[in-house]
């Protein structure tokens, strides 16, 4: 028997909403599309969030909040600026929770850049040369080494770029996907503009910001 909205129970909708934070009607539609399968419904909602985020990516994020997080008994501290389109959204619990989670993640994972696009040419070239040298030293022909390096660079981005990193509280979701889900729920573009991470005794604090991109008002 095919699954229709009428076959989806209120308990299923409630459970999916608690799991994802998505609006109730979106949860019901996702469960219907997934045939009542909870895990498939989560995937449906994530894809929807990414789709909505892509449509809103060019919109101006002139509001937001600076959030702090202190970890390990005051040994690690983070400041992060997360932006959105309106002060109203910036004051919502959902947005504040997102900013807090991002700050906490930065404290734990120590990214060096916000996005792939922010990686400096010097850092990119250095890593690429190291990977090519390793592949060649292992006896790989140059053209094979080049292909291997492409995969290794993706792993490098995952290690050093905030948006590419698996979320510390849920390793199945990247920070970019976490933000996309909130964009889908709140209906506004959301972006991380910059962050700073300090650790007691470490003089090399991590300070990162996004390169300017053209945004438009809608």
- pLDDT per residue as tens, the chain (218 positions): 355 666 788 888 888 877 776 667 788 888 888 888 988 888 887 777 655 666 666 677 789 999 999 997 899 999 999 999 999 999 999 999 999 999 999 999 999 999 999 999 999 999 988 988 888 888 888 778 778 888 888 889 999 999 999 999 999 889 998 998 888 888 889 999 999 999 999 988 999 999 765 444 44
Q: What is the predicted pLDDT for the residue at 217? A: 43
Q: What is the predicted pLDDT for the residue at 213? A: 57
Q: What is the predicted pLDDT for the residue at 53? A: 61
Identify the bridge partners of residue 70 per DSSP, sorted by sequence position: 77
Q: What is the predicted pLDDT for the residue at 4? A: 62
State the architecture of 5-56 in CATH terms: Orthogonal Bundle (1.10)
Domain 63-116+161-209 has CATH 3.30.479.20: yes
Domain 120-158 has CATH 1.10.286.20: yes
Where exactly are the structural domains of the chain?
5-56, 63-116+161-209, 120-158
Long-range pairs for 124-128 at CB < 8 Å and ≥24 separation? Answer: 124/153, 127/152, 127/153, 127/156, 128/153
Structural tokens at position 56: 């809103």
Predicted TM-score (pTM) of this structure: 0.73
């Amino acid at each position: 028997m095919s699954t229709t909205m009428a076959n989806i129970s209120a308990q299923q909708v409630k459970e999916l909403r608690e799991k994802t934070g998505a609006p109730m009607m979106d949860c019901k539609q996702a469960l219907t599309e997934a045939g009542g399968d909870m895990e498939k419904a989560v995937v449906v909602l994530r894809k929807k969030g990414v789709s909505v985020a892509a449509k809103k990516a060019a919109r101006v994020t002139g509001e937001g909040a600076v959030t702090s997080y202190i970890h390990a008994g005051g040994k690690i501290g983070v400041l992060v600026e997360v932006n959105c389109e309106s002060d109203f959204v910036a004051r919502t619990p959902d947005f504040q929770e997102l900013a807090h989670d991002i700050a906490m993640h930065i404290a734990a994972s120590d990214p060096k850049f916000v996005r792939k696009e922010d990686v400096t040419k010097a850092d990119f070239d250095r890593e690429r040369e190291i990977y090519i040298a390793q592949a060649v030293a292992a006896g790989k022909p140059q053209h094979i080494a080049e292909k291997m390096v492409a995969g290794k660079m993706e792993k490098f981005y995952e290690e050093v770029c905030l948006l590419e990193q698996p979320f510390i509280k849920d390793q199945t979701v990247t920070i970019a996907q976490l933000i996309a889900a909130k964009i889908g729920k709140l209906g506004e573009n959301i972006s991380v503009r910059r962050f700073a991470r300090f650790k007691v005794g470490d003089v090399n604090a991590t300070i990162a910001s996004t390169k300017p991109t053209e945004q438009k008002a809608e």
